[in-house]
Amino acid sequence: MRFLTYLLIGTFFGFVMTKSEAISWYRILEMFRFESFHMYGIIGTAVVLGAIGVALAKRFGLTAFDGQALKLNPKQFSVPRYLYGGILFGLGWALTGACPGPMFTLLGQGIWLIGLVILSATAGTFTYGVLRNKLPH
């Protein structure tokens, strides 16, 4: 039953990613070339609503369905890992036109080569895990 819930939320997410066109390689190119407001509008709306909702949830002490605190794990502050990791991620995002969520969504649309992107991304994550102690964090 719980798994059905996650499956349904994920299905909704894949649907939204498609109809928002955030899965489109073209939309990502257009965003980074500053030639349309579309992607900025999507992310901006989500963040503004998200920030208002999170602030209200904290203000009124809302919890998850089971009474546990909301999972808003603060990240430990530092600069290098977020900046360097972020830059590498951005290089890849602009190249493939897909961040991890859209990769899976595109797979459902018969874009088979995206399967190789997912495998390669998994290899990238594995390589990070191997080199982790040698990288600045």
Site for other proteins in 21-80 (CB under 8 A): 21-33, 35-39, 41-51, 53-54, 57, 64-66, 68, 70-79
- Smallest gap from Cβ 59 to other proteins, in A, equals 13
Q: Which of 6, 59, 61, 134 binds other proteins (CB under 8 A)?
A: 6
Residue 14 has, within 13 A of its CA and on its CB side, a CA count of: 12
DSSP class of residue 63 equals B
Q: Which of residues 101-130 bind other proteins (CB under 8 A)?
A: 101, 103-114, 116-130
100 is an interface residue for other proteins by CB under 8 A: yes
Long-range contacts of 28-37 (CB under 8 A, 24+ apart): 28/93, 28/94, 28/97, 28/98, 29/94, 29/97, 32/94
Q: Which residues make beta-bridge pairs with 63?
A: 69
- Tokens 């399967």 label which residue? 115
Q: Which of residues 80-99 bind other proteins (CB under 8 A)?
A: 81-99
Q: Which of 8, 59, 61, 134 binds other proteins (CB under 8 A)?
A: 8
5 is an interface residue for other proteins by CB under 8 A: yes
Nearest to 86 by CA among 30, 20, 51, 137: 137
- CB nearer to other proteins: pick between 59 and 71: 71
- Smallest gap from Cβ 1 to other proteins, in A, equals 12
